[in-house]
Amino acid sequence: MPTTMTPTEEVTLRLEEVLLPVSSIGATGAIPNPALTARVAEVAHEIGQLPGARLYELLTPGLCGRHPHIVLQWLRDAGVLAELLPELDATVAFSQEGGRRHKDVWEHTKIVVLQAVPRPEVRWAAALHDIGKVTTRRFVGPGRVTFHGHAEEGVRMFRRGPARRIRFPSEVGSRVEQLILYHLRPGQYDGSWSDSAVRRFVREVGSGMQDLLDLSRADVTSRRPGQRRKCLFMISELARRISELEQLDARVPPLPAGLGHALMTAFQLPPGREVGALRRALEELCEAGALESGRTAAYYVEAARARRLLEST
């Protein structure tokens, strides 16, 4: 017996068919014929009736394909972008720098999405990372434009708009929001950050650091080869420092906690330089392989006594 669909189900199926070309465009880069695009445009105003979770499922494969920039342009040409992501549609022909076409926020965004690694979190963040520029643009002189606070504004816009219309999986939505918020930070690294500043940055970003570094690399779209190389080099330098500090911090301390107190008790020493000198001498012996690391305090007290380290300090 044939199953009949409810009117709501029929509408859902019809609207889902509107977005079916997205996956194919992302995979092949081939734009549907103009007649199909025109038919899609006729019903684009209804596309918001689809459940948010289904919108995510239909859009993400194309956005994570080999030609995501063409997907975005087709969605814009078909009128779908204005309905689902008006915040992104507003960046079309929105200048970042007076009189320079390649500084159009929309054109820049498409390049960033194309250059981004094809993980959903990174591709969606790449598409939405600069939406806050529309409301924060300020002209400060001939050909000079600023966007102070656009990352924070982008997060607010994301929460009010895209995150409500498109039902991102919770972990994806949280990561996209985080990437929008921090997307400028790796590009601000200039080599002068102290180790404590790098560690603080790592703590702030947490587990999203790899996604953030990947987004930051994709966000380098300068047409000047020297500037591009410099930006990418500094991001890689930041990644190297993060890795080295993580490895350093993961090392087991060579000497146990409480050793200072044990040394003071064993040798009847007051707190001060002599205790510090003893600890340094024991650390050097551990680094040289003359003593084992990670042993009990008693082991190092005996080693200090046997080697007469107190006399040498």
Q: 228-231 — which CB contacts under 8 Å span 24+ positions?
A: 231/187
Helices (H), 194-296: 195-205, 209-218, 225-250, 259-267, 273-288
HSE-up (13 A, CA, CB side) for residue 8? 3
Supply 222's token pair.
């300068």
Which regions of the chain are under pLDDT 50? 1-2, 100-102
pTM of the model: 0.81
DSSP summary character for residue 153: H
Per-residue pLDDT reduced to its tens digit, 28-58: 999 999 999 999 999 999 999 999 999 999 9
CA distance 278 to 284: 10
Structure confidence at residue 307 (pLDDT) = 84
Supply 23's token pair.
């996956």
CA distance 62 to 20: 9
Neighbours of 36 (CB within 10 A): 13
Supply 2's token pair.
């044939």
Helix (H, G, I), strand (E, B) or coil at 66: coil
CA distance 140 to 255: 57
DSSP codes of every residue in 71-105: HHHHHHHTTHHHHH-HHHHTTTT-BSSTT-GGGBH
* N residues, the chain: 313
Neighbours of 34 (CB within 10 A): 9
Using alpha carbons only, give the angle 139, 141, 147 rounded to the nearest 5 degrees.
35
C-beta of residue 65 within 8 angstroms of C-beta of residue 71? yes
Per-residue pLDDT reduced to its tens digit, 203-226: 999 999 999 999 999 999 988 999
C-beta of residue 191 within 8 angstroms of C-beta of residue 234? yes
273-276-280-283 Cα dihedral, nearest 10 degrees: 170
